[in-house]
Structure 1
């Protein structure tokens, strides 16, 4: 079996950091949209906003789990480096494997969230097209 070195988990730092930045940007965008929809709903009490709010709630929840799995993956990469440093190589290999699995889960959730976002935007575009055709 190939030896795991300190540089292997360290390579994921920049990738995970960029992913976390993207996740945080998504989270902040959803927060702004939700605050805006909340204000609109309080003014109009329009039931058509309920579906949008549910959709955003689901996407926000997915983004939260994406962040949790991504951060945990990063923490396990740091733990892996520490375990390598104290020469606990077998444990380091297992912890690094778990870190990779958590990163895969995080990215899988991102794919699901993108599908939901794309579907929601498609519905908005369809509404606009229907309105233009009438």
Structure 2
């Protein structure tokens, strides 16, 4: 097995940072949608709005999970670098492996969230097509 160096976990910094920026943008967009749906619901108590609110709530929780796994992955990359620095290479390899697994979970939640988002948009499209 090849030796894990400081540069290996450092390479993930830019990737994880970009992913976290994308997740934050998604979260902010959802926050705007929730505020909009909230105002619409206060004006008109429509069952369709309740379905949309439940959908966006589920997507918010998925986005939160994506962010938590991504941030934890980044923290473990930093810990890996520290462990390499103090020459604890065996532990560093395991910690870095865990960081990669958490990043995989984060990306898997992203795929799940995208599937839900597409279904929500399909409902809007079908409403337009049916009219």
Task: Mark yes or no: TM-score above 0.5.
Answer: yes
1:5 aligns to what SS in structure 2? Answer: coil
Alignment of 1:39-50 (within 5 A): 39-50=39-50
- 1:91-119 residue CA offsets vs partner (Å, 9 max, x unmatched): 00000000000000000000000000001
TM-score normalised per structure 1 = 0.97
Return the alpha-carbon distance in structure 2 between the equivalents of residues 68 and 8 of structure 1: 22
- The alignment status of 1:74 with 2:74, answered yes or no, reads yes
Give the number of aligned pairs: 131
Q: Which residue number corresponds to residue 19 of structure 1?
A: 19
Match of 1:97 in 2: 97
Could you list the runs of 5+ residues in structure 2 that have no partner in the other structure?
none
Aligned Cα root-mean-square deviation (Å): 0.5
Give CA deviations for 1:34-58 in whole Å, capped at 9, x if unaligned.
0010011011111220000000000
3-state SS, counterpart of residue 87 of structure 2: coil
Partner-residue secondary structure (3-state), 1:128: helix
TM-score, normalised with respect to structure 2: 0.99
Alignment partners' CA distance in 2, 1:86 and 1:125 = 56
Separation (CA, whole Å) in 1 of partners of 2:126 and 2:24: 29
Cα distance between partner residues in 2 of 1:91 and 1:106: 23
- 1:40-80: CA deviation from partner (whole Å, max 9, x where unpaired): 10111112200000000000000000000000000000000
Quote the residue 1:2 is aligned against: 2
Structure 1 stretches lacking a partner, 5+ long? none
